[in-house]
Structures are given as structure tokens and as C-alpha cells.
Structure 1
Amino acid sequence: MLFLLILFCWGPAILTFGQVWPLYGTPRKTVTLSSYGGHVFQEEGVWNYSTMLLREDMGVLILGARGTIFALDLNKIIHKKAMVKWEVIPSTQENCLMRGKNLETECQNYIRILHKMPDGRMYVCGTNAFNPTCDYMSYTDGNLSLENNQHEGRGKCPFDPFQGYASELVDGKLYSATYINFLGSESAVMRSLNGNIRTDDISSWLRDPSFVGMKHVAEGEENPEGDDDKIYIFFNEAAMEYDPYNKLDVSRVARVCKGDLGGLLALARKWTTFLKARLDCPVPQTRLPFLIQDVFLFCPGNWNTCVFYGVFTPQMSMLQYSAVCTYKIQDIREVFSKGKFKTVVNVDSFTKWVKSEEDIPDPRPGACINNDARQKEFLTSLNLPVKTLQFVRDRPLMDQAVEPSSQQPLLVKKGAAFTSIVVASTTALDGSIHQVMFIGTASGSVLKAVNYNGETVIIEEVQLFAHSEPVKILRLSTTVGQLYAGSEVAAVQMPLSACGHYTSCMDCVLARDPYCGWDLISNSCVAINSLHPNTHSQVIQSLRDGNPSRCPAVESPKTIKFFYPGNVVSLLCEPGSNLAQVQWHVNGHPVEQNNVYEIQHNRLLLLNATESNAGHYICTSVETSKGEDYIIQTATYELKLQDLVEDSLGQPLVQEQQKIFIALIVIVILLTLVLLALVVWTLYKGYCAIPSCSNSIEERPQCSNMMQKWGSIERVQQMN
């Protein structure tokens, strides 16, 4: 009853069942990775390709897997430039096994941390059979090498390879969010490498969290308030502000300030700026809040233009919807810098978190040191008064939730769960700039989607891996215009666009792909960024409307097909896209399914065809865009009754060929039977019994006698 009451009182996260929501759930095209011009990399015996670091300065993709790190050519990842093994030593593996972990899966070294250091080296950490360990790594002269400067990775890298974690390396310091003990019962958000600082170990700070992502935003740059850079942490955790007797998970965004040094007495070596808020992604007609799975930071300009893109899935497996929500950096800042706090009260023998009406101390709890604080002689967090520190220690949760831009998701789709997201920016033919989302799914595909004036269209779905292999990670290189993805079994690379697979003007324009346009001169779909400005007038692109009316008319080829009376005739018609509807006409009249015509998938079947079924058949693939219907391709058939006279002229030749074929089959069968009879007769007469022939010549007299007989026959033949 309490749980139902909580659901009823949830607020903006729960919407009524009567609310209408358009589901843009169907990709216009479904294509394979090979047709998209992609590449697959995998090494025999290596698994879990789930950690990536783009080194565009070196032209390589650093790929972390289980027990192995690769350096792959950024332009073509099938070219392996270097690799280094980092496996678990036997004693560590044995200790892991003795503590109850699985040898084949858990007691291995999964690479989990890969970051570029300020000096160009890389910082790398692995789970190391539940004994997290870190090292430094270099890539020089085509060689990838660990420095063997191994040190403890507790708090930096997870113990459990299958547990959520997040990390960022900023100014040579590692910020990490993970579980910090073997049992996976204690979690922390930490800063290490040159001075440690972490979250407090009370449950109001972190309560059974599942960490998803961490992003650095340089808010201190050109900031009139003299504010500090922020580290934002995204995770899911058990909600403490609702029913304590039923576990309800919610999504959170938390943040700390880069210059935080901890308190002097209170919160010594603990964050003084750790604040968190609920992160809402309200999907209509659902009762429980969706949970964030991945986040991408997109900043088209300076820091105050930044937007977080998050992918969300339901916390109940019976629901099959996923969503993308976006959050402006300014909206998040507003909640943390001006919002109310929650505080705990006791109600009927249990605690409840409610909006705090207490006076907020000055300086504001959880705030970074800015110009206002410095004027009051609070130069670092070590100078903050105990009252401010005690307030934020007891009240780390904000009362107000962070709502998505436009108060609703950017995309809602039914089907395989979303797992990851990256966002690229591209300029269209008319100079407008569009953000293209690449969304990984649990079915091993990536969706390419764009939002035009509030309408999100899924341009295509590219199948990267087998349907049972979820996309674990996505990375984007704008330098080479490539997307990289990792799964348990392989890593793949694909271009951001493949305009060449659009085969007609209508197909190219209706795709509404900002990367592509139809060139009237070359009569092909081309990449917009490859065009010379003087040729733009000869290129067609219509992104917001998908209007291909400027496309020239194309005549479809006619196929002549003959049939015999009483036959079943099959006419094929492939739809031009997943959004297209196939329509059949015969002699200018629509075909209706009945006892003569049957439409199955992409085929029209004529059952028991008669002379009256001969005629002109046209199949059109019709796609609707902005309320207008467009014929994107046509198949034309001329169905004719087979001329019996012509057929009879060719009949003797066909019959003769059939007779020859049958005669050959009979000869082969007779020869086989003769050979079989000969073998049986030989065995029956005992000339070569099977058991005797397995021994030496001296021990097989029957075979020797038979050989002597054959020898005698040979000598007689030679004498003759």
C-alpha cells in the first residue's frame, strides 16, 4: 500500500495513461555493417572489447580488452599497430579463486581505465582478478609498452569487472566513481593521483549506486562569477526520499568542484561540494522512473552551451521502451546553485526526506569557491565554516529534480534497450547545423537519429554485431569522421555516413540525412562536406520536410514473365524503406487479396494462374513525408501466357536432354551395385578377411595366397 502511495505521489516522473506520445520507433533503413563500409577487429582468444581511448594525436585507437591492450589504426582498425598483454599472475588468480570467484570470468584482468596523461603517456587500470591495479603505458616508435610501475588501483578501478564505474582524468588527477572493496558493498567518488579526497561513507551520500558516467565541464573559463570547473557524475541509486520498505531506483546527477580540498576539521579529506539531484526522463504511460545507462557531453561552443545527452531504460524488464533525454548545463547549475535542499525527518518510526525550510548558511553549502566567497576571505574549502560544512554533509540531496529540455524526451523507441550514445555535429547544405545521435542497442546495432524542429527521425539502423551481442561502448572521432564500437566479442569501425547506398534521388532526399544530398550532375547521392560551394545549386537536400519534388522522374524497367495455366506465379517487389508501403496494380486497377491473388511480405502470388491473369502489373513503394505520398521505386511486370507452339518446338530437345540425364544416373547406379557385389563376394570367399589384413604379411596367409595367385596371373600374361 505504501509503495502504491509513493507511486501516486511521485510527481513529474509519473504521467497519466491518457497522455498521447508519438513514437518515432522505426528506422527508415536497416543495413549491414559491410554495406556501410565498416570494419571488424577481433583477436582470437581475446574478449570484452569495452574500453577505448582515442589518441588522435598519434592516429591510433587504444582498445582495452580482457588481459590485452591494442593500438589500432584510427583510419582502419583492422590494421593492428601494436599490442601488449597484461594478464593475472598465478598467485593472484589463485587467491581470487579461493575467495569464491569464477576462474574463467571474474578472475581475469579486465582493462577498465584508459586516460591520456598531460605528458603524453597513458594511465591504465585493470580489475586484476579482484585486485585492482594501475600502471603507466607508452606508445612510441610503433610499440605499446607498460612501464611495470604497478600500484594499487583500489578506489580508481572496480574490483568486479561487471560492476558500473566511471572516471575522468583532469589536470593530471584521476576522478573516479566505483566500489572500493572486495565485497562490493562500499562505494565512493574519489579524486586521486596527487592528493586523495572522497565522498563520506554515510548512506545519504551514496545508496547502492550504479555508476554510469563522469564528465568534466570547464565552467571556470571566462566565468564572470569566478566559478570553478565541475566534475559531473551520473548514476542510479536506491531512492532515499521515498518508501523505505520498497526499493525504488532513481537516476541522479551529482557534481563536485575541481578546486575542492575538503574541510579543515569537519569533512576533512571529504568533498565539501558534493551535491546530487534526481534526473528525470519522463516517459508517458509508464509508472516507474527510467534509469540512465550512458551519457554524452556535447558542447557546440563554450561551456555554457553544453548539453548532456542521456539514454534511459525502464527498471522493469517487461517494458520495452527506451528513451533519450537532453539536459542543458544551465538548468543543472540552476538546481545546484539556487535550489532548495532536502532534509530528513522522523515520521511514524521511519525517516523521510522532505524539503528543508531552514535558513541556508553563508557561504552556500556545496558551492564552489567563487569571487563572492573570496571577497569574504574564504579562499579555499579549508576556510569554510563548520556550519556550512555540517549542513552539506547532512543534506547532499536537492529537493528539485533536473528536468529534460522541452520537458520531454527527445526520442522514445520500442524495441531493444539503448546501451550507449555519442553525438556528432554536421552542417547541412543550407548552412544549418544539426546534431546527429548514434545510439547503441542491446541487440548489437547502432541507430542514427536526428531531431528536426521537435520531430526525431531514425535515419537508419546499422547492425554491428550479432543480435545477442550488446554494444558496450561507443566512441566518436570527428577528426577522421568515424564511429567506433565495442562488444564482448569484437570492436568495429564505421563511417558517420555512407551516402552511396542511397540508390535514387527519391531515396536520398527522403532519408533526410544531413550528411547526404543528391547531385543532379553525377546522378548520385554524395557527401555534403565533400562538395565545392559552387556546385551546391545542383544538389538536392530537404531535411525538415523530406520533400523530393525536385527529383527528376525515373522510368522503371519492365520485366516480361511467362507462365503456364495452372501455375503459381510469384512477382517480387522490395519496399524502398522500412517506412514504405507496397501497392500492387494490374492493368490500372488495385490488386485485392482473394482466392486468386495473395500478398506475402514482398511478393504477389497468383494462385492457379489462368489466361485471364495475363497483363500489366505494377508495384509501387510509397513513402509518406510530412503528409505527402511519394513513390520511391517501381517494379513493372508484363505477364504473358506461354506460347504452346513455341514451347512444343523446344520440347523434343528438353526431352532428349532429360533422357540422357536419366541414362547416366542408371549407369552410375549399376556400376555401384557391381562394385558392391564384388566386395561382398571377395569377403565371402575369404580371399581377404578384414581381421587378418590388419596384421603383417607373415600373419595373413589368406592375403598372401591371394597375392600369389595374382602374381601367377601376371607372369602368365607377361609370358603371353
Structure 2
Amino acid sequence: MMFLLAVLCVLYVWSPVTWTGGLGSTPNTIPRKTVPIKSNGGRLFREEGIWNYTTMLLREDLNMLILGAREAIFALDLDDITVKKAMVKWPVTTKEQKECANKGKDATNDCKNYIRILHKRNDDRMYVCGTKAFIPTCDYMSYADGNLILEDKQEDGKGKCPFDPSQRYTSEMVDGVLYSATSLNFRGSEPVMMRSSEEPIRTEFSSTWLNEPNFIHMAHIREGESNPEGDDDKIYLFFSETAVEYDSYTKVDVSRVARVCKGDLGGQRTLQRKWTSFLKARLDCPVPINNVHLLVQDVFHSCPSDWTTCMFYAVFTPQLDSSQYSAVCAYKIEDIKTVFSKGKFKAPVTVETSFVKWVMYSGEIPDPRPGACIDNHARELHFTKSLELPDKTLQFVKEKPLMDQAVKASGDKPLLVKKGPAFTRIVVATTTALDGTSHQVMFIGTKSGSVLKAVNYDGEMVIMEEIQLFESSQPVKILRLSNTKRYHELTVIQSLSVGDANLCPKPDNSKSVSISFFHGNTVKLWCQPYSNLAQVQWHLNGKLIEASNSFQILSDSLMIFNSSADASGHYTCSSVERNYTTQHIAYDLKMWSASGTTALLHDVKEKENTLVAVVVVLSLILAMLVIWNMYRGHLPLPFCHRRVQDTCEEGPYVNQPQERKLASTTVNLNSNNNHMNDQRFSSSREMDRLSTTVGSSGQISLKYIDDESEI
């Protein structure tokens, strides 16, 4: 499988676009450029016998990509991922595989070690975890002297790494401590968000906290470094789960964001070794054409400066196959923070002794606020750590971790909505235009194996390119954004704000293609537009061509039917996009005339006569050479085995007084035993440079000598 290891951030030269009208939010957005798989310039890494390349770690400090696969880990050169710098195998044992199969799992596929976690530690080592035949295991790995080395300090990976290789999970290494969201048991029925410190802390095993979740993304935001309220760092978790708050006969899945505080130590009695700060809220990504909730598939977070500038970009797909629309929504960290710190809570209410209905809680809220981190307000109340929080606060958050208000998308609308193959992954880069303004460039992976490159300008989104990376049956499963591997195109001209293309270099349109046609034939002139959004315009002798019985204008060509002398002339093809015209190609058409045809036939006849004359002369020369060689004895007559002094003899040997009996089967024409005089031999050698070999039967064969040293 091929992977996009680092998406390169650059805006290429494009035809100008007027950034109005909300093009980016229309569901039928068409990419300006389509780059097929054969011309995308991508690099492919594949190792014989290795499958499931599903985990990546960018080690830009080592200029390497660490790639986790099934029972193997690779170190690839970031400049060229086809170069394997190191490899280490981590297979399961026969015993582990057998025990896994005895538990009902597929021994060939499930009962292997799938590398699912790769993180860089502060000490420059790496933390790696694998499924290990449904016995999750972690180890430490280093790179030294050109080798990847597993230290064989295997640790229990339960709660860190999934048991099932097909299960979604997420994790984050924060100051040397692993935060993870996965399942804690073999069956996958105990989902947890967990911190693997010396005293691990996790979520409750309750559907109120996590209800059949699908974990997507985890992000550490260093809020505590500059928060004026003395608040703590946060770890945000994005996932989807079966909703508990909707009245429905069928299960309804929704998208969520949850968060915990980095300094959370759990409660003293209530929520002992459980999060006291776990709160969750629904993510809203409104798409008017869908009546069902979209589910989050991937999230990328970017913080241009401090934590207050952090944005979360999320891709959503429908949970029903009947809908074909995907979307991208962005969320400001301030909006998420406001929902958790100031929003209302939802509470379960029992109806008719059995049915539970979730409604907005309107009662008294304890102080300190349930789910809040230890901040300046808590310290004023003499609470310096979560172990000191009152049971009233802890019991509230244990029962009611769900917020009533949803987190709304920035601008209350998606950045992009598109019909077609579902979105799978996203990374976002920031680029600077010539006027110094910053713009977000989104790279969106799709289920059809392509990556969309979309540019955001003042909230409007345009898909600049669709780059096909894989075959259509292979979805994009991982995207990583490199901060060091970028193009440096100093000649790029960008005019994002007004779409002014006057500075763009003009193409060379001085050359035309000459074409002749016969009367009454159909002529097809090709012209591929520069952009999928451009319209093709054709001109004949400077006059615009319109569709008629004689002309049909196609997206990539012009058809001329029943062509006559009127079709002759100078044709030009241009692309027109947003009132900007670029000429592509020009044709000069002329019809064959009778005189021109006669002249052509006359030329052909003359060439045929010349060719016949040459063949005759060459045949005569060849015949003369054959006769001359037969006369000189270099070639045998059809009825003789050998000619010596104009006589014919039988047998392989010749016994003449003038010539010694041959002692070998090869006649040396350069030997003094040869009775031919030097002058005759010299001219013969220069004429045809032949050597003669006598076979065991007395037959003489000829061979051509290329090198004079053989004579």
C-alpha cells in the first residue's frame, strides 16, 4: 500500500478566482485540477511479505518516517521513502498465536502483532505498542548506528493499545505520559479514556460516560501556560458514540468532544482513580441537505500562536449510506471552552418507572463547578487538587457528564461540503500570500484514494486540486503534515484577494498546427482546458464559434462536420475562467485541392520509380559479386565440394602437388601454404573479407569478419 507521508504546503500558480458566492460550501464543488495516479509524482514503499502499514511517526529530528506495520517497524528516509534505513521485526510467538486462536480469533489474520502506537519520548526513545495476538503489549525502541532496536522491556498494553487490530483508537504522549482511548478488555465492551501514569486514571464503565464509542483523535492543549484564570492544560478527545439523549426506536450515533484536565488526580472517595474533570458535548456540523447527524472521521488541530488561537478541523460523513455528502467543519477552542465552563448540563429523568429521558438540568450547580479544573477560583475555596474536591461536586459530574449545549461550528456552517467519495482524513497547513495575509490550506483524504487540496480565503473554500494517490479501492487512512519538507517556489505569483492575473506570464501562442482535410470529412481538433472549472472557447479567424450543424463544441475538442472550403482558416482554443482567458493551441486548416493531390501522387510515383531503380542496381552488384567469388574459388559451385586450380575433387582433403594436405578443418587464407599470390589475396580480402571453414563432411562454409585482426 502506498502512503502520503508528508503533505507539502504550497499554493501553486492558478488562474484567478473571484472569492465570492460561497463556492466552497456548495455540495457539487469541482476541483480545479485533477492529477491522475500516473502523474502525481508520488513515492511508493512496499516490503515483500509485510502488510497493514497503519501507524506513522514523523521523526523530523532524524529526517525519518517511522512506519508501523504487521509484525514489523521501518525507518524510512524522509527525503525518499523508498529508501529503507532500518527495520526491526516484532512477531508473535507460536504459543501466543495458538492461545489467540483458541479464543475464537482468526489465527492467520487476527492473531498477529499489529503495531498501533508509535510516540516519541522526551529521552529520544520511542514508545511502541502492538496488538500482540489480542494481548496488547508495549515496548521501548531506539534508533542508533543505523538500526532500530527494541529494548525487550515489554509492558502490559491494556488500555493503551486496542486488542482488536480493526478497532479505532487514539493516543497522545504528554510530557512522557501516555493518554489513550481504547478498550480495556478482550471483547471490546469496556471502552476507556485513560492516563497510564504510576497511578492510572480512567473513565467510568458507564454508558452515561462512553456508550459504544468510536475514538477518533486526541489533542493536548497547553492552556495552563498563559491562562489568566490559572486554569490547567487540557486533553481533548474527539469520538462518536450511540446517543443516550435521543428518544428513538433505533440507535442514533452522534459526534462528541470531551476533555479532561492534565492535573486531575481523581477523587478521594467518589471517583477514586477516575476522572473528576471528564465532560463531553455534541459536535454540531450543520449540513442542510442531510436530516441525520454526520459522524466525525478525523480531526486536525492547529495553534498558530498561543492556545487561544487553536482551531480544530474535523471531517464528517453521514452515518447512512443513502447520503453521499461529506463536510469539513472548524471549531474554535474558545467556543469549546465556553460550553464546558459556562454551559448547562443534561440530566437523566426516569419516566414511568422504566424509561429514562435526558433533559436540561435546571437545578442548583455545586461550587466548585463539576468538571472544572483546579483554577484560581478553586484555590480561593482552598481546593488545590482534585483529591480535595467535595463529594457533592464529584457525584454531580459522575451522573451528569453530558452538556446540554452543542459546540457549534465556526461561522455556524461547514467550511466545505462535497458530494462524492466520503472524506476520511484531514491535515491543515497555513501559507502566506504576497500581501502578508495567512490562509489555510486543507488536504483531505477520501475513500476513493485521492487527496483534495482546498484553500480558505475569508471563509470561502475552493478545491484547487484532486490528486489521486491510490487506486479507487484503497482509501486514504493516514495523513501526516511535515513542517520541514516544503516546496520553496520563489517564482510563484499569488493573487488571492482580487484574482488579478495580469502579472502571470503570457503563454507562447506563436506556433500553429497545420492540418489538411478532404471535402466532406469530419475534423476533430483537440483542446484540453487548464482547469476543470474553465469553459473552452473556439475562434475561427478571430470570430467566436458557436454550436451549429457544422460545429459541435465539446469539453476537450471541436468537431467540424461535413467540412468544406468554408472550414479552412485559423482556429484558436482558449480557456475562460472567471473572465480570465488563456489561449491553449492554434490550428491552421486547409482543404486538399485537386492540383495538390495530383502533385502529391506525382511525387509518390517519382519516389517509387527511384526506389525500383536503386533495387535493380543493388541486385546487379550483388550478382556480380557472387559470380566473381565463385570464379575466384571463394564460393563452391553447386555440384562441387571444393574448387582447386579449376578442378573438382571428392572428399574433404585435396592432395595436389602445389598444395600441402590440410592438417586441420580450417583453411588459413593468410598462411604461406596458400598458393595464391599476395596481390590476389589482398584484393580479395578488401572486397569481401571472408574466411572459409571446411567441415567434417568437406563442406566449406563462409563467415564475415568484422575485425581485420581475424584475417
Identify whether the pair has TM-score above 0.5, normalized to the shorter chain.
Answer: yes
The match for 1:57 is: 61
Give, in whole Å, the separation in 2 of the partners of 1:600 and 1:653.
Answer: 42
1:623 pairs with 2:577: yes
1:126-152 CA deviation, whole Å, 9 max, x = no partner?
112222111110111211011111122
Pick from 577, 586, 590: which aligns with 1:636?
A: 586
Kindly indicate whether the alpha-carbon contact (under 8 Å) linking 2:96 and 2:133 is maintained by their aligned counterparts in 1. Answer: yes
The match for 1:8 is: none
Greater helix share, structure number: 1
Counterpart mapping for 1:572-651 below 5 A: 572-624=526-578, 629-642=579-592, 643-651=596-604
Kindly indicate whether the alpha-carbon contact (under 8 Å) linking 1:30 and 1:461 is maintained by their aligned counterparts in 2. Answer: yes
Kindly indicate whether the alpha-carbon contact (under 8 Å) linking 2:285 and 2:329 is maintained by their aligned counterparts in 1. Answer: yes
Give, in whole Å, the separation in 1 of the partners of 2:70 and 2:485.
Answer: 27
1:614-641 CA deviation, whole Å, 9 max, x = no partner?
22222211111xxxx1112332111111
Q: How far does residue 480 in structure 1 lie from its aligned partner after superposition?
A: 2.5
Q: How far does residue 466 in structure 1 lie from its aligned partner after superposition?
A: 1.5
Q: How far does residue 601 in structure 1 lie from its aligned partner after superposition?
A: 4.1
Give, in whole Å, the separation in 1 of the partners of 2:697 and 2:74.
Answer: 74
Pick from 249, 259, 275: which aligns with 2:263?
A: 259
Q: How far does residue 447 in structure 1 lie from its aligned partner after superposition?
A: 1.3
Kindly indicate whether the alpha-carbon contact (under 8 Å) linking 1:231 and 1:257 is maintained by their aligned counterparts in 2. Answer: yes
Kindly indicate whether the alpha-carbon contact (under 8 Å) linking 1:33 and 1:39 is maintained by their aligned counterparts in 2. Answer: no
Pick from 234, 245, 249: which aligns with 1:245?
A: 249
Give, in whole Å, the separation in 2 of the partners of 1:85 and 1:656.
Answer: 74
Give, in whole Å, the separation in 2 of the partners of 1:716 and 1:120.
Answer: 82
Secondary structure (helix, strand or coil) at the match of 1:78 reads: strand
The match for 2:337 is: 333
Pick from 103, 108, 125: which aligns with 2:107?
A: 103
Q: How far does residue 429 in structure 1 lie from its aligned partner after superposition?
A: 1.2
1:140 pairs with 2:144: yes
Code of the aligned partner of 1:620: S
Give, in whole Å, the separation in 2 of the partners of 1:715 and 1:289.
Answer: 93
The match for 1:563 is: 517
The match for 2:454 is: 449
Kindly indicate whether the alpha-carbon contact (under 8 Å) linking 2:129 and 2:161 is maintained by their aligned counterparts in 1. Answer: yes
Pick from 176, 183, 204: which aligns with 2:180?
A: 176
- Return 5+ residue gaps in structure 1 as ranges: 1-19, 482-496, 498-525, 532-538, 661-713
1:369 pairs with 2:374: yes
The match for 1:202 is: 206
Give, in whole Å, the separation in 1 of the partners of 2:230 and 2:77.
Answer: 42
1:468-524 CA deviation, whole Å, 9 max, x = no partner?
11111111111232xxxxxxxxxxxxxxx5xxxxxxxxxxxxxxxxxxxxxxxxxxx
Q: How far does residue 286 in structure 1 lie from its aligned partner after superposition?
A: 0.9
The match for 2:217 is: 213
Kindly indicate whether the alpha-carbon contact (under 8 Å) linking 2:168 and 2:216 is maintained by their aligned counterparts in 1. Answer: yes
Give, in whole Å, the separation in 2 of the partners of 1:85 and 1:298.
Answer: 34
Secondary structure (helix, strand or coil) at the match of 2:600 reads: helix
The match for 2:688 is: none
Give, in whole Å, the separation in 1 of the partners of 2:464 and 2:696.
Answer: 84
Give, in whole Å, the separation in 2 of the partners of 1:103 and 1:580.
Answer: 54
Q: How far does residue 193 in structure 1 lie from its aligned partner after superposition?
A: 3.7
Q: Measured at CA, do residues 406 and 653 of structure 1 come closer, stay the same or move farther in structure 2, by a change above 3 Å?
A: farther
1:547 pairs with 2:547: no
Q: Measured at CA, do residues 597 and 373 of structure 1 come closer, stay the same or move farther in structure 2, by a change above 3 Å?
A: same
Tell me which of the two structures has the higher relative contact order, counting C-alpha pairs closer than 8 angstroms and 6 or more residues apart.
Answer: 2
1:170-193 CA deviation, whole Å, 9 max, x = no partner?
122111101222222221111114
1:423 pairs with 2:428: yes
Give, in whole Å, the separation in 2 of the partners of 1:122 and 1:245.
Answer: 47
Give, in whole Å, the separation in 2 of the partners of 1:658 and 1:623.
Answer: 55
Pick from 29, 33, 45: which aligns with 1:29?
A: 33
1:44-99 CA deviation, whole Å, 9 max, x = no partner?
22222221111122221111112111111122222211111112222212222232
Code of the aligned partner of 2:598: V
In angstroms, what is the RMSD of aligned CA positions?
A: 2.3
Q: Measured at CA, do residues 149 and 440 of structure 1 come closer, stay the same or move farther in structure 2, by a change above 3 Å?
A: same
1:470 pairs with 2:423: no
Kindly indicate whether the alpha-carbon contact (under 8 Å) linking 1:21 and 1:284 is maintained by their aligned counterparts in 2. Answer: no
Give, in whole Å, the separation in 2 of the partners of 1:178 and 1:195.
Answer: 18
Q: Measured at CA, do residues 646 and 102 of structure 1 come closer, stay the same or move farther in structure 2, by a change above 3 Å?
A: farther
Give, in whole Å, the separation in 2 of the partners of 1:231 and 1:201.
Answer: 20
Between 1:240-249 and 1:202-211, the stretch displaced more is: 240-249
Size of the aligned set, in residue pairs, is 591
Code of the aligned partner of 1:394: E
Counterpart mapping for 1:28-47 below 5 A: 28-32=32-36, 35=39, 37-47=41-51
Code of the aligned partner of 2:85: K
Pick from 393, 402, 411: which aligns with 1:406?
A: 411
Kindly indicate whether the alpha-carbon contact (under 8 Å) linking 1:53 and 1:61 is maintained by their aligned counterparts in 2. Answer: yes
Q: How far does residue 105 in structure 1 lie from its aligned partner after superposition?
A: 2.8
Pick from 328, 347, 357: which aligns with 1:352?
A: 357
Kindly indicate whether the alpha-carbon contact (under 8 Å) linking 1:179 and 1:188 is maintained by their aligned counterparts in 2. Answer: yes
Give, in whole Å, the separation in 2 of the partners of 1:78 and 1:560.
Answer: 45
Give, in whole Å, the separation in 1 of the partners of 2:403 and 2:557.
Answer: 59
The match for 1:679 is: none
Secondary structure (helix, strand or coil) at the match of 1:139 reads: strand
Give, in whole Å, the separation in 1 of the partners of 2:310 and 2:562.
Answer: 65
Kindly indicate whether the alpha-carbon contact (under 8 Å) linking 2:65 and 2:78 is maintained by their aligned counterparts in 1. Answer: yes
Between 1:48-57 and 1:359-368, the stretch displaced more is: 48-57
Q: How far does residue 238 in structure 1 lie from its aligned partner after superposition?
A: 0.6
Kindly indicate whether the alpha-carbon contact (under 8 Å) linking 1:261 and 1:382 is maintained by their aligned counterparts in 2. Answer: yes
Q: How far does residue 565 in structure 1 lie from its aligned partner after superposition?
A: 2.4
TM-score, normalising length: structure 2: 0.79
Counterpart mapping for 1:267-278 below 5 A: 267-278=271-282
Q: Measured at CA, do residues 31 and 718 of structure 1 come closer, stay the same or move farther in structure 2, by a change above 3 Å?
A: closer
Secondary structure (helix, strand or coil) at the match of 2:118 reads: strand
Secondary structure (helix, strand or coil) at the match of 2:572 reads: strand
Code of the aligned partner of 2:533: L
Counterpart mapping for 1:434-513 below 5 A: 434-481=439-486
Give, in whole Å, the separation in 1 of the partners of 2:271 and 2:519.
Answer: 91
The match for 1:387 is: 392
Q: How far does residue 439 in structure 1 lie from its aligned partner after superposition?
A: 1.1
